Structure 1
Amino acid sequence: MVIPVHDVNPTRRTPWVTYALIVANIVVFLRTPGMAGSVTGESGLAQLCRLEAFLDQWAAVPRELIHDRLPGLVPTGRVAVGPSGPGCVVAPPGYDKSPPLSVLTSAFLHGSWLHLLGNMLFLWIFGDNIEDRLGRVRYVLFYGVCGYVAAYGFALANADSTAPLIGASGAVAGVLGAYLVLFPTARVWVLVPFLVFLPLRLPAWSVLGLWFGLQAVFSYGAAVSQAGTVAYLAHVLGFAAGMLLAWPLRRGTAPPPEPPGLLWGRQARPGEPWQGRPRRGW
């Protein structure tokens, strides 16, 4: 899997909405119980119980989305010692939760630093151009619609699941789908792990096409949302929604400029060979 680090696709204005989304996701993560203090998100039983209660209240749960009702018993965040040992206490919910609204709140929750940074990296690289093309208001609506399509589509396929569905992946996947439609020939600098990380400049269609292909393949055997697993099906659905929403705009979108003489992330010196051709090179 390649790791994108930068795209050669300038914008006309500052992507304030993208920046705000990234900041909001980081702030929420830092305030999530048990997450900020550990790179892996693992912690003691007390913190895990608080985290379970926090996610149950604010994350999207497929069964709740489909049936639009809360379960009879939910985690309280407290720890008790029973005959079989210590465990998390459950009780009737002491809060009023709206399952449709939980899709919005769950998009700002992440299960680990790696989960957060991965989503924010893709949003940072590709979100600015989509915001620039759509405009700030339409971009916010677009981001939300892709997130809802991903969450409800996943819930329909996993109607009995009670595991929290968290992360901005569905909405960010929509951004990637729109980028593929609007800027397929934009050059993206990526790191390819091969003994060492090799920097390559590839067209967006190859980078995002590979990403989508992997998500589609994984979704057949890993379309679940449980601890330590990934909701690949939500990624596929969010990506498809982004492509469909961006499709009417593709004819009016100018292709990104090709920077002449760009060699491995720097300007080539006079007389230095450069591998590539305008508009068609890799």
Structure 2
Amino acid sequence: MIPLRDTVRSRNTPIVTFIIIAINIFVFAYQSMMPREIVAEMIFNYGFIPVRFIDNLFNPFAYIPLFTNIFIHGSLIHLLGNMWSLWIFGDNVEDRMGPIRFTLFYLLTGVIATTFHMLSDLSSYVPVIGASGAIAGVMGAYFLMFKNSRVLTIIPFFPFFFPIPAQIFLIIWFLTQVSSGISSGLAGSLSQNIAWWAHIFGFLGGVFLHKIFLRRNYTNRRSIF
């Protein structure tokens, strides 16, 4: 199922969501213009590598990739899929949190996602990149914050649109991640192209932590905190 849009309209302009999408597009555009060896070096330096992090726990610079990895993508499809999901779910979550709280929430769930991916394979030398863990956190928050929302979806190869309750859509998505994570673990392929456990724990981070970041008074008036 491919989500097209949700039925909840935000009251305020999602400034941070726009900025995050713009940064990701800018970084990918920069990657696209650079030679392959420069891109490889960029991913090595700013992607998150579990073994490198563990070997440098007391080096402050080792923590930088925990944040920078969520702004780097490996392909156009990777970028578009993540940014589309952020666009659908991020504006409403930002609306309820406010720009500053939403920024902190997004970065925190991204770090949680990356950390749990690391714990799934401490010996991995494969760089982790992509915003999907942080976006999974946004989806986890949306799951509990907008219980009456629906997501208009389309099934590939079938020209039909289905309005599905958002909670059902997100449960299906989450169970798919869990199933894939378990399957990859049983197959002994934890160091793979898709960080399933980052998605799973990013989502759970959003579920359990989102209330901390909600604005005290949600009104029509714009607020940044």
Of stretches 169-178 and 99-108 in structure 1, the one that deviates more from structure 2 is 99-108
Amino acid at match of 2:10: T
Q: 1:275 maps to what in 2?
A: none
Secondary structure in 1 matching 2:71: coil
- Aligned-pair Cα RMSD in Å: 2.4
Percent of residue pairs identical: 36
Please give the alpha-carbon distance, in whole angstroms, between the structure 1 residues aligned to 2:39 and 2:26: 16
Q: 2:173 maps to what in 1?
A: 211
Write out aligned runs for 1:1-282 (5 A). Answer: 2-32=1-31, 35=32, 47-68=35-56, 98-193=61-156, 195-222=157-184, 224-226=190-192, 229-247=193-211
Please give the alpha-carbon distance, in whole angstroms, between the structure 2 residues aligned to 1:97 and 1:249: 26
Amino acid at match of 1:110: H
Structure 2 unmatched ranges of 5 or more: 219-225
Post-superposition shift, 1:196? 2.1
Please give the alpha-carbon distance, in whole angstroms, between the structure 1 residues aligned to 2:159 and 2:49: 38
Post-superposition shift, 1:66? 2.4
253 and 199 in structure 1: CA distance in 2 versus 1, 3 angstrom threshold: farther
- Structure of greater Rg: 1
Secondary structure in 2 matching 1:179: helix
- Report if aligned partners of 1:6, 1:188 keep a CA contact under 8 Å in 2: yes
- Report if aligned partners of 2:3, 2:153 keep a CA contact under 8 Å in 1: yes
Please give the alpha-carbon distance, in whole angstroms, between the structure 2 residues aligned to 1:225 and 1:238: 18
148 and 110 in structure 1: CA distance in 2 versus 1, 3 angstrom threshold: same
Please give the alpha-carbon distance, in whole angstroms, between the structure 1 residues aligned to 2:133 and 2:33: 23
1:94-122 deviation line (CA, Å, top 9, x unaligned): xx982211111111000000000000000
164 and 248 in structure 1: CA distance in 2 versus 1, 3 angstrom threshold: closer
Post-superposition shift, 1:69? 6.1
52 and 69 in structure 1: CA distance in 2 versus 1, 3 angstrom threshold: farther
Post-superposition shift, 1:197? 3.2
Secondary structure in 1 matching 2:194: coil
175 and 36 in structure 1: CA distance in 2 versus 1, 3 angstrom threshold: farther
- Report if aligned partners of 2:70, 2:131 keep a CA contact under 8 Å in 1: yes
Runs of 4+ that moved beyond 4 A? 247-250
Please give the alpha-carbon distance, in whole angstroms, between the structure 1 residues aligned to 2:217 and 2:79: 30
112 and 97 in structure 1: CA distance in 2 versus 1, 3 angstrom threshold: farther
Please give the alpha-carbon distance, in whole angstroms, between the structure 2 residues aligned to 1:106 and 1:120: 15
- Report if aligned partners of 1:65, 1:99 keep a CA contact under 8 Å in 2: yes
Post-superposition shift, 1:189? 0.7
225 and 114 in structure 1: CA distance in 2 versus 1, 3 angstrom threshold: farther
TM-score (norm 2): 0.87
Secondary structure in 1 matching 2:178: helix
